Amino acid sequence: MNGKAHILGERAAALANYPHMREAGGLLWVSGISARRPDGSVEGLGDIRAQTRAVIENVRAVLGAAGADLGHLVDLTAYLVDMADYAGYNEVYDTYFRATTGPARTTVAVRELPGPDLLIEIKGVALAPGRPT
């Protein structure tokens, strides 16, 4: 009814009843992804660059469950706990994406994320492989 759920056993489990990603209507809807490891610990404690890298790599792995990659992303929303981290986040983000080919992007500040050590969370929408652009 609402598409196919993708739940990856080798990634940190969701903190409630939702999938890592849902595939519906030729699109991949990636849930908010953090720098949490499968054991619940956090990659890059206190380091926005390390956490941004870990989050983007986690997003890449989630997209891979449907045969997609970062190049399939059309929209991305990033949530930062502190806008003072914006420059460090952008520094890493820019190693993965270019303005001419990367997704549309929104970055917002939030008071907190569901874990005291989390500095960033990213969610996105991607085209499923084989879907026309």
Domains of the chain: 4-127 (3.30.1330.40)
* pTM of the predicted protein model: 0.95
pLDDT digits (tens, 9 = 90+) for 83-103: 999 999 999 999 999 999 999
SS3 assignment for the chain? CCCEEECCCCCCCCCCCCCCEEEECCEEEEEEECCECCCCCECCCCCHHHHHHHHHHHHHHHHHCCCCCHHHEEEEEEEECCHHHHHHHHHHHHHHCCCCCCCEEEEEECCCCCCCCCCEEEEEEEECCCCCC
What's the pLDDT tens digit per position in 100-128? 999 999 999 999 999 999 999 999 999 99
